Amino acid sequence: MMMMIIIIIIIIIIFAPTRGFWDTSASVGQLTPDFYASTCPQLASIVAEQVYQAAQADPRMPASLVRLHFHDCFVNGCDASILIKSTAQNTAEMDVAPNQNTLHGMDLIDIAKDAVEKACPGIVSCADILALATRDSVVLAGGGTYAVPTGRRDSRVSLASSVNLPGPRQSVVSALPAFMGRGLTLADMVALLGAHTMGVTHCQFFSDRLYNFNNTFRPDPTMDPAQVTLLRSVCPRIFPGLGGTVSLDQGTRFIFDNSFYQELQQNRGILQMDQELSRDPTTAALVSQLAAPDSNFTTIFGQAMVKLGNVGVLTGARGEIRKICSQIN
């Protein structure tokens, strides 16, 4: 196991990608990949070990961490506010739709934080641990690596009222402003949604596409009929919330590759928002590029993740370094 962890760290350090023709880079401000070089040099190996152990126990963990990081960054920035638990006086982000009972991976971040605190007490933020763990999980799932700029501090606030995330039934046109409002581009959006090459979704988020699309009492005509039949066997017409979960990528559900985009081209996207990426004239060409056999999707995704990880960060004297990720100091 230790040899695997060492290999992962070497890959991360040596093969971090340079900017590609889809330059999704952004200024990282005060963040830098070597922020903890002198104060916690063992940070990378500690986090990588915990992620490796968790992914070995649960192959769904990489997808969970990517989703957790995204849901954190999209609400007031990458400040680990998603990890704060509710109190009697305040309902936190994790306890409101679409986060409630659907986010996983918080326990892993707690475990990693505890291990880091033993080695470097009071030095490393939960926000940075989450960003590093997300990158490590992508590597473990077969994706490319990317250098994670660090130096984030943790938020002292987590409010349910702050949660405003793009929904699974939105169109490209309606979802794009949410990404642009966070300094992300159309290309960033297409690349980041490629994280759906891993993970699952619940029937309630797409069952209308199987039975009553746009109140027509018919399935979504843009979905492959064979897939409609298959998904109906999992998701009941009545009370779809009682149905199971469905892989967002019907091709390679636990592997980080460009199969997701290939599925979209075959009209096999699960969520309406995903499928529209291949049909909307503003994004169809991007999907085609990412779906190609020689696609550099993993590099592009890494660049977009670096940009996402810089959204609304707290640095310097702002925020705090939480001792326990689930509660403010």
Q: How far apart are CA 275 and CA 251, in angstroms?
A: 15
Please say whether the beta carbons of 307 and 210 come within 8 A. no
71 catalytic residue (yes or no): yes
Task: Tell me the two tokens of residue 186.
Answer: 């159309």
Catalytic residue of the set 69, 71, 196, 202 = 71
Q: How far apart are CA 24 and CA 303, in angstroms?
A: 6
Residues 6 or more apart whose Cβ sits within 8 Å of residue 198: 60, 62, 63, 66, 141, 248, 249, 253, 254, 255, 256
3-state SS, residue 61 = helix
Residues 6 or more apart whose Cβ sits within 8 Å of residue 87: none
At 153, which amino acid appears? Answer: R
Which residues form the catalytic set? 71
